[in-house]
Amino acid sequence: MPIYEFCCNQCGTAFEELVRNGVKPECPACHTGDVCRLLSTFAVHSSSSNLGGQGATKSCSSCASSSCGTCH
């Protein structure tokens, strides 16, 4: 079951919702069903220089940094 981002057409609230069988959720703020699904952005992390990465030698899961941009 995918999690989608929605925006309420009535009050403008943006929210995420776990969607089952394509059912449109209702706004958590004003409880209307007049919502539209947003195009979500996503992040890609790669250590491969062929895929745009920096060729990192260790993964962020073992890194103590708060930013992946500081991994070497």
Structural domain spans, the chain: 1-41
Domain 1-41 has CATH 1.20.1440: no
Q: What pTM does this model have?
A: 0.55
Please choose, from the candidates 22, 14, 20, the residue with its C-alpha nearest in 3D space to the C-alpha of residue 38: 14
CA 15 to chain centroid: 11
More confident residue, 53 or 42: 42
Model confidence pLDDT, tens digit, residues 12-40? 999 999 988 878 899 999 999 999 999 87
